[in-house]
Structure 1
Amino acid sequence: MDILLYALSALLVLAGLAGTVFPALPGLPLMLGGLLLAGWVGDFQQIGAVTLSLLALLTAIGLAVDFVAGLLGAKATGASRQALWGAVIGSVVGLFLGLAGVILGPLVGAAIGEFLARRDVYQAGKVGLGTFAGFIVGTVAKIGCAFAMLATFALALVF
């Protein structure tokens, strides 16, 4: 039974790694769940409270940076309130349109919101690209947190 649970744990971690790149999957929470499951299967002998706390902290940091990065990218280009709401709405709608929708939804939503607010195509495009840049920064931060989680887990197993 332990082997099956370790296999499930590994699958959750792999799905989580994929989710750091593909925004439709909750990558870091899946990884945390997989690592927590592996610790539980091992009766928390090597993976204790300190390690689990660090893993949870890295998950929270990665999620927060991912969320804030897109907004800051839009805000840095002078986005209006409507553009920020457009990015949020575009993110939600994009979830239903596959991978391209998830990636392009916030960009298009921010650009549409900015255009509706200011009727300036150049500014709308600039805000859309700023939102996309924020998305890229957020994705890189999530990937960094994912590898930091793996390193933390591996070090806890070794020491």
Structure 2
Amino acid sequence: MDYVLIVLGILFLISGILGAVVPVLPGPPLSYIGLLLLHITGRYHFSSRFLILWAVITVVVYLLDYFIPIWGTKKFGGSKRGVWGSIIGLVVGMVFFPPFGIIIGPFLGAVLGELSSGKQSHEAFRSGLGSFLGFLAGTLLKLIVSGMMAWYFVAEMTS
């Protein structure tokens, strides 16, 4: 049974790393499940403190992934309409155009929101760029967290 759990854990870790880049898959939660699967084997164990810490990190990164593009829009001069456009674009993109809609939706939403508030096209584009850079920052954060969980998985197996 341990071998089945280990193989499943590896599959979840690989899916988690892919999910850090592919918007449809929830990367860090999948990676965390991989850690849990290794933990419930009879051979390998993580401390409760370690598992709780990584559960908190997973939840925080998962939530930040939705807010970082909004923050990027604001940071690049976006107005409330640009922020709302980014949020609406994220939802519309997720629902109607997965997986690429999650990338393009916030950008287009921020641009359209800024244009509707009377901003010039270069200002609207700048807000959209902030949303896109926020998306990239969130992706990098998810990739780092999923990669670290994979490293801990391998380190535990080789110790």
Give the TM-score normalised by structure 2: 0.87
Partners of 2:60 and 2:156 in 1: CA distance: 20
Kindly report the root-mean-square deviation, in angstroms, between the aligned alpha carbons of the 2 structures. Answer: 2.0
- 2:63 is the counterpart of 1:42: no
Partners of 1:154 and 1:53 in 2: CA distance: 19
* Counterpart residue number, 2:137: 137
Give the superposition deviation at 1:52.
Answer: 0.8
* Counterpart residue number, 1:75: 74
Counterparts in 2 of 1:1-159, with a 5 A limit? 1-42=1-42, 45-95=44-94, 96-158=96-158
Partners of 2:156 and 2:48 in 1: CA distance: 11
Partners of 1:153 and 1:55 in 2: CA distance: 12
8 Å CA contact retained: 2:23, 2:100: no
Alignment size in residue pairs: 158
Partners of 1:29 and 1:125 in 2: CA distance: 33
Partners of 2:18 and 2:82 in 1: CA distance: 29
8 Å CA contact retained: 1:51, 1:156: no
Give the superposition deviation at 1:7.
Answer: 2.0
8 Å CA contact retained: 2:68, 2:134: yes
8 Å CA contact retained: 2:19, 2:28: yes
Give the TM-score normalised by structure 1: 0.87
Partners of 2:140 and 2:86 in 1: CA distance: 19
Give deviations 1:7-30, integer Å, cap 9, x for gaps.
222211111111000111111111
Gaps of 5+ in 2: none
Partners of 1:119 and 1:77 in 2: CA distance: 13
Give the superposition deviation at 1:125.
Answer: 0.8
